Chains A and B, each alone.
Chain A
Amino acid sequence: MTFDFMAVWNNRDILIEGILNTLLISVIAIPVGICIGVFVCLLRISKARLLRWPAIAYIEVMRNIPLLILIFMVFYALPFYGVRLSGLTTGFICLSIYGGAYFAEVFRGGVEAVSQGQFDAAKALGLKYGFYMRRVIFPQLYSYVFPPATNIALTMIKESSLLSMITVAELTYAAHEINGRTFTPVETFTTIALIYWGISIVFLKLTAILQSRIEVEHIRIPIAIR
């Protein structure tokens, strides 16, 4: 059996567009997902039921339905209610709110790992809620939530391949297209796998650098036991 990687190479313009779209989706969906995660986490740990319950419902729904179904619902079902979104927009939204639920749970785990005493001391000093969450509680979470949050982000990058099902021209869609033109499934999908792998490696490297920066800033903190 011979390998014909030239077939893939000749369609590199499709491939490059695919890579760019995958990166674009990730670069937008991950930060937005983190913001949603912080926000939902704050609701989730609130003492007020009116805030907490919607957050729980959101997290449960997102965790218990397949991402693909969420994508189909937004892309195929929403138009019946007059909301018509492009494939790419659907991708941003679905991945963000999907990742956001997982980020929220990781952040909540982090907040709960910070000892109650830290909250007590912050309140006793008269610090306001928003201020002490930002300056006292969250900085203590970084090193704790970093590894699981990295995992979620990585999953989001890879799960963006599901968007090929609604014809978003990202990497997996590009693979289908090249394969359709050249009928070289082995070469095409091997190349795609290697590209995903490369993106993941670079991403992990970047987060490792970011993590070490943060740890230098905040010194390594042993998470206090409640």
Chain B
Amino acid sequence: METGQDIAVEPARAEDKTMVDIRGMNKWYGTFQVLTDINLSVRSGEKIVICGPSGSGKSTLIRCINRLEEHQEGDIIVDGIPLTEDVKNIDQIRSEVGMCFQQFNLFPHLTVMENCLLAPMSVRRTSRAEAKRLAQRYLEKVQIPDQADKYPSQLSGGQQQRVAIARALCMQPRIMLFDEPTSALDPEMIGEVLDTMAELAREGMTMICVTHEMGFARKVADRVVFMDQGRIVEEGDPVSFFNHPQNERTKKFLKQILQH
């Protein structure tokens, strides 16, 4: 157990405050090392795009940030809270970090509205009326206010993903994680989801996105992180990343992904 590092929540929440700080992180599945010496620091309001070939550990990395996966070595500090075995810290981090998944993962037995109400009411203890008002606001923001009483299976993939974004926003998170949010979508629905994400970015949300949408990365990202074989191989602002990649592996990857 990694205790001892009693980092209290800082009183001042400055604008350029570090929201996610990952230092010297290593992770293994059994004896196979999936993440090696990961160092990544994300400031408040920053938008990070993580890309790389499949199996490079991108998803695993962002799933470590809210403890869907456990890391074995190194430190992860989210909004001043050290991510340790401590359940209280994990709960607190999860309530501040929203996440969207490749497969949307809406709860199929609940309506869109109920999907949005569940977490605020049970975790934040928000009253039903207040939670409903909040849900309505975020459903409007993702442009599906009139589908609130439908079940997820009655919506298109793009709509489902936007509901998933609204559901995460209802917890009023300080950080949003996106794990390949458009990879399971039909091509004509990718745009609407990316637009929603771009809108969120404009409003100053701290975002970490694993995605292959390089157009989105160019337009929205402050920083692009390239991973290969469990390591961060290269990172930089989009202009230099796309125009002057330094690493051979990055060059090869970009050539393959951008030639279509």
Please list the residues of chain A having a beta carbon within 8 angstroms of any beta carbon in chain B: 115, 117-118, 120-128, 131, 135-136, 139-140, 218-219, 221-222, 224
Given contacts A118-B107, A219-B151, A224-B108, contact A124 B94 (CB under 8 A): yes
Contact A115 B66 (CB under 8 A): no
Other CB < 8 Å A-B pairs besides A121-B164, A127-B122, 8 of them? A117-B105, A118-B107, A121-B107, A123-B94, A124-B94, A126-B95, A218-B109, A222-B153
Given contacts A117-B103, A125-B123, contact A139 B97 (CB under 8 A): no
B-side contacts of A222, CB under 8 Å = 108, 153
Q: Which 8 A-B pairs have the closest CB atoms?
A: A121-B105, A126-B95, A117-B105, A125-B119, A126-B94, A124-B99, A126-B123, A218-B109
Interface of A is mostly: helix
The verdict on B171 contacting chain A, using a C-beta distance below 8 Å, is yes
- What distance in Å separates the Cβ of B203 from its nearest Cβ neighbour in chain A? 21
Q: How many residues of B contact A (CB 8 A)?
A: 28
A-side contacts of B168, CB under 8 Å = 124-125
B-side contacts of A218, CB under 8 Å = 109
Once bound together, how far apart are the Cα atoms of A121 and B177, in whole Å? 12
- What distance in Å separates the Cβ of A118 from its nearest Cβ neighbour in chain B? 6
Once bound together, how far apart are the Cα atoms of A122 and B67, in whole Å? 12
B-side contacts of A127, CB under 8 Å = 118-119, 122-123
Contact A131 B122 (CB under 8 A): yes
Contact B122 A121 (CB under 8 A): no
Once bound together, how far apart are the Cα atoms of A118 and B110, in whole Å? 12
Given contacts A117-B105, A131-B122, A140-B109, contact A124 B151 (CB under 8 A): no
A-side contacts of B119, CB under 8 Å = 125-127
A-side contacts of B108, CB under 8 Å = 140, 221-222, 224
Q: Could you list 7 examples of A-B contacts with CB < 8 Å? A: A123-B94, A124-B66, A124-B68, A125-B171, A126-B91, A135-B122, A139-B109
